[in-house]
Structures are given as structure tokens and as C-alpha cells.
Amino acid sequence: MEGLDQSVQDRIDLWLNGNYDHESKMAIQSLIDSKDIEALNDAFYKDLEFGTGGLRGIMGPGTNRVNQYTLGMATQGFANYLKSKYQGEEISVCIAHDSRNNHTLFANTCANVFSSNGITVYFFEGLRPTPELSFAVRQLKCKGGVMLTASHNPREYNGYKAYGEDGGQLVAPADKEVIHEVRLVKSIDEVNFDGDESKIIRIGKELDEQYLAELDKLSINPDIIKKQHDLKIVFSAIHGAGGVLVPTILKRYGFSNIIEVEAQASYDGDFPTVIYPNPEEEEAMSMALKLAEESQADLVMATDPDADRVGIGAKNNEGQYKLLNGNQTGCLLINYVLRAKHERNELKPHHFVVKTIVSSYLMDKIAASKGVDCYNTLTGFKHIGALMTKWEKDRVFLVGGEESYGYLVGDVVRDKDAVISAALIAEMTAYYKDKGWSLFDALIEMYKEYGFYKEKLVYLVKKGKSGAEEIKSMMEQFRTNPPRDLGGAEIVEIRDYLKKEGRHIKTGETYSIDLPVSNVLQFVTEDQSIVSVRPSGTEPKIKFYCSVNENLASKEDYASTESKLDCKLESMINDLMNR
């Protein structure tokens, strides 16, 4: 067909003539008949890449789409890896899904492929949060796990997260080994799609209870919750799995005044009330904020579809309900956990905190003030989970997080967890209310003590094959021709995580970065502002994480200091965008 590369045409012909279902073939033929070259190219120009985090993409027929065939091939490759690694051992996996469209088809496909390969499958009877999948892998002593979700992506997406036996997403070398096995599966004819029902075990409420019982133990100040049990909490699941367990854990902690956003309580993969099911977006939180205003709530919370991220809001000092960003919430949560444990003389030398390199460095300052080690990992919570597993016999993880609204308290799971985070955020709000403070009061006091840090994430969307090439070119330009200054401040240090090397500009001195290779650049200015640049691993975006800071002398200076930081952020962003 004119306008298509031969490789694309070959993939299309394979689908039209191969062992694929009639509906998929008709959908492809419809695109051919309408001469939709762009759609055909995007669906077939490559194989959907099984990356270090698994699969994520738009649903539909095609090699570059999420469907039962691309998921089946991925699962066959994962099964081959498990059988090779655990030869002679009993192998089991756990599968869960959120509310995304096609979840039944996709989850059944994965269960069938695993079971047909002789692997026992623990299969959740209904949708469940991602962190419970992590818990179940550990609790049931599985060798792996699969969570079917596209996290906070738009409704047309779905995905596949692969987990190791520690309950964390796969990291090196296992991630590369699984990728290798997946790439060896060249055809759907190599996939065992016919399931063995005798190997599939349904699980549900009993795992819920075990998981919730472990989360119960992580409450730090239950006595304060008793005093503030009527704290008014507005919660939205945004049509996702958060509705299964978040209200439950809040009630178990002792909160009695939980107001759910009923219009967003249905489990619906079309996410009918939002444009994006993402608590990072104000639009997705608008219904919860409106209900908070009507009810004069103390706290607003919403979770993403698979309930591993949580966004929050509260009333500011002008009486307006405002959302906190991921860095603000993460800093408040780390500050609360360390402060509360310090007050109870429960901090120990072997305790530690973990964050990612693109998250606020205020987190590092808070940990240092309490004598607690804070470690930085690459972007992606799997790296935090891997560090937890590495040290689980010698050290104790307390709390950690990343700027993209993912946090974890305690070591019950090995992934970000909106269920326990929601419970501890509510407890934190009760703790400050007991002192006569709002969350915004607590935020300002934290800035007064450690410095006013403000961050902003901006990104450029570059879709399709041409977009991927453009993002690659932009990263090369930043690497070979870096900016000399940003926001009026000279750059004094560049960290290149792809080369695993940092360099001081004035002296030329270099140093090694002791982290795995990653396509990330960081620019540090003379006033300790930091800009991190990286391509997204899950979306067609290039991301710019900008961070600035100033001292905050008093509560009265908050507005003027924030305005100054906003101006500096905008200046830095303009410099980045106008290169």
C-alpha cells in the first residue's frame, strides 16, 4: 500500500493472514479501506516494546498496540524466563487488574498463558490496587506477578507491569533477562493460549484482610486519631481500584467522617467524569474539591485507577481549597513520619528514607535533620523497592516517595502504595489539627524550618515514530550542547546518568555516579536550583523537572517568597523551551 514502509506492510499482512481473530482483522481492513496511513503506521511500525517496566500503550489491533496477542507473547516470554530461572521448583504467579477497559480479556489471557505453561496462577476475583498485588506476591511466596494497568494514562491505554518474587517491579539483571525472553517469542503461534483451569486459584477477601491487617500496624499516633476521629475527609477513587480499599483502611484507622465522591465511585474504564484519570491533574480533582468546599472538609484525597498514587488538597490560609503537588505531599509525609517517630523516641540508626533523583531535595534536608539516611535512586519506584529488598535483613525502611504522587510508608509492599499513604496522610492531618494547624500551616512551618523549595514539572508531548525520534534528538542536543545558565543563574555542575558521570564546570573535575545507567541529565546552578531532563518511560513525552529554593523568614513572607520562586521557575522554563 502506497505510503507504508515494507516492514509495516509485512506486519499488516501477517495479521490479516495469520491466526488472529476476525474482529481484529476487520478493524485493520477498515483502516486500509479508509487509507488511514497514519493510523496504520502507528499501529504497525514497530513491536510494542517490553521495557524495564513492562508494557504500556494504546489498546487495539497491531504490533504496536496493547491487545491479547501482544500481552500473550509478553506473558509467554515471562513464563519462559520463570521456568528457566526456577528449574525444578514449584512456580506460581499472582495476577491483578484495575478498572481499565478489556481487563477481563487481558487478565484471562495472562492467566491462561501462565497456567498452560504449568505455572500456578493466583488470580484476584475482581479489581485490586497495585500495592495489594505486590503484597500478594510476597505473602503467597510467588516467583512473579503481573498487574494489568496503565496507571494514570488516558482511557485508551492499558498496560502490563511485571513483578519479581520480592514483590517489586523487575530490576537489573532480571528485567533485561525477561526482555530477552520476550523478544525471543516471534509469533503468536509460539504462545500457549489454552489455559489449565486446575492451575488457576481465585483469591480475594482473605488477601484483603491480611494486607489491611499489616497496614493497621503502621499507624504511629492512633490516640490522636481517636481524638480527631471526625476529621472530615473527602475521597474520590476516580472510577478506579482505590474504591476497593482506601475507604476501608480509613475506617479501620478510626476515621468516621469519610465523604466519597459518588459520581466517581463506579468502576469504569471509560473514566466518564474526567479527561485524564490522574490526581496530578486539577481537572480530575475538581469534583472532589467542589464537594470539599460544600462540606468544608479538612482533607481532600483522590487515587489513580490502580491506586498506587494519591493526590491531596486542603484549605489554605485564605480559605480556598488548593491542591498540593507531589513534592509537597511527599515532603509533608516524610516530615510527619520522622517527626512523629522522633517524638516517640522510635528513630533508630538503621532506619532509612528513599526518594528519586527528580524529587525535591527538601526530602534530603528533612531526613538529615533527624539523623536518618536518605538515599536517592533513579526515577521509578522499582528502584526504591529494590533498595528496600537489598537491605531488608539489616536496615528498616520508614518512608519514601517520588514527585509523581507515589509514596510508601513501611515495608509491607515493594511498590508505591496509595492505600497506606492515604491512611497516613489522614493521620498526619489529624496530628496537625490536634495542634490547631491546617495542612497548609504545617507546610509553611516546614518551609520556615528547612527552606522554601518549589518545583515544577513541564513536558513536551511527541507522539508516534517521528515524536520518538525528536525526543531522542533533543536529549542529544542537551548532552552535546548544554545550557550555560538557567533562570539567570550560571550552571556549575552537570550530572549525566547515561554516562554515570558528574562534572564541575569551573574546575573540570569529574566524579562517578553510583547508580544504574539511565537517560537523565541534571543541571545544577550556582544558587542550587536543579533541572532534570529525561524522556518518559511510559508516555510519549520529554520531561523537565525544575526545582528552586529560598529561605522563608516568616509566615507573612510566604506569598512574596512564593511569587519570587514562581518567577524564577518561569524564567528557567523559558530558557529551556527557547533553546
Catalytically active residues, by annotation: 151
Phi, psi of 467 (to 5 degrees): -65, -45
What kind and span of H or E run contains 222? Answer: helix 222-227
**Does residue 485 sit in helix, strand or coil?**
strand
Residue closest to 313 by CA, chosen among 396, 205, 425: 425
Residue closest to 495 by CA, chosen among 470, 459, 525, 456: 525
Residues 207, 114, 79, 519, CA torsion sign: negative
Phi, psi of 413 (to 5 degrees): -125, 180
Residue 367 half-sphere exposure toward CB, CA atoms < 13 A? 26
Cα–Cα separations (whole angstroms), residue 185 to 188, 196, 434, 497, 519: 8, 21, 58, 31, 27
Per the CB < 8 A criterion, the answer to whether 418 and 242 are in contact is yes
**Does residue 463 sit in helix, strand or coil?**
coil
Per the CB < 8 A criterion, the answer to whether 428 and 418 are in contact is no
Distance CA 229, CA 428 (A): 12
Interior angle at CA 147, CA 146 and CA 149, nearest 5: 145
Phi, psi of 434 (to 5 degrees): -65, -25
The one-letter amino acid code at 138 reads R
Place of cell 499513604: 421
Residue 510 half-sphere exposure toward CB, CA atoms < 13 A? 7
What kind and span of H or E run contains 74? Answer: helix 68-85
Residues 401, 162, 379, 504, CA torsion sign: positive
Per the CB < 8 A criterion, the answer to whether 407 and 381 are in contact is no
Per the CB < 8 A criterion, the answer to whether 495 and 378 are in contact is no
Strands, DSSP E only, in 418-515?
452-461, 485-486, 489-496, 501-504, 510-512
Strands, DSSP E only, in 195-320?
200-203, 233-236, 258-260, 299-303, 310-315
Residue closest to 54 by CA, chosen among 11, 14, 7, 110: 110
Reading the block at residue 521, the C-alpha cell is 541529565
Per the CB < 8 A criterion, the answer to whether 360 and 455 are in contact is yes
